[in-house]
Each structure stands twice: as structure tokens, then as C-alpha cells.
Amino acid sequence: MTKQVLVIEDEPNIVAAISFILSRDGWLVETHTNGETAVQAVLDARPDALILDVMLPGRSGYDILQELRAHDLTRRLPVLMLTARGQRTDREQAERLGVNRFMTKPFSNAEVVDTLNELVPG
């Protein structure tokens, strides 16, 4: 069975890079760029995992994560959060809201693939 990931990220270069490396690894990749409609995109796509940027147009990744964790359908969805700001306070806030993994940009392509495969084995 093909594993599906939804990438919510507004930087085209990052979307392209992540889409390429995960597709090559056998993942079905969907993308979304708008923070305001991100929660509905997750509910519609029903992915096996989510890659979520912190800084998005319209709404922060923290707000999106908080709403996803409050929703029955997405409470246990594995979430990898990406940010250009890697301060300890950013990581602590993400962990308080229930993120599974937190990664700072720039990140290694292999690290993204390995992390997703750990979060969604099989």
C-alpha cells in the first residue's frame, strides 16, 4: 500500500524538493500552501503523515497543529514540523501542541525521508 503525505508549505523550492525526494521513496505526495485552509485540506486528504511549516500565509503552523490535535480524525496524525526558526522556545511550543518531530531549515533530504518512514512504518 502506498503511503500518503500532505506537505503544507508555502516555499515553492522546498515543496519541490520534498515532493521529489518522497515520491522517489514511494510516497504519494499532496501539497497545500495556505494556512487558512490547511485544516480542511488535511481532513479532505486524510494523509498517513503531515509535513507542516510553521510560518504560512494566513495562519501559523502552531495554530493549525493545535486545531488538528483537538479533532478526533487527526488527533494521532504523525506531524513533522519544519521551521526556519529553530530556537528552543519554538521547539518547546511545537512539542506542547503535540508535534511528533521538529526539524529546522535547512534540513537534509535523507533526514526528512528517514523521519517520515519512522513515523509511518511499512
Q: Is CATH 3.40.50.2300 what the domain over 4-119 is classified as, yes or no? A: yes
Q: Structural domain boundaries of the chain?
A: 4-119
Displacement of CA 116 from its chain's centroid (Å): 10
Q: Which residues contact 91 (CB under 8 A, 6 or more apart)?
A: 102
pTM: 0.96
- pLDDT by residue, tens only, the chain of 122 residues: 799 999 999 999 999 999 999 999 999 999 999 999 999 999 999 999 999 999 999 999 999 999 999 999 999 999 999 998 878 999 999 999 999 999 999 999 999 999 999 999 98
What is the CB neighbour count within 10 angstroms for residue 85? 11
Using the structure block, give the residue that is written with the C-alpha cell 510560518.
55
pLDDT at 86: 75
Residues in the chain, overall count: 122
Q: Residue 64 has what pLDDT?
A: 98
The two beta strands, 49-53 and 79-83, are parallel
Instruction: Scan for cell 497543529, then name that residue.
Output: 65
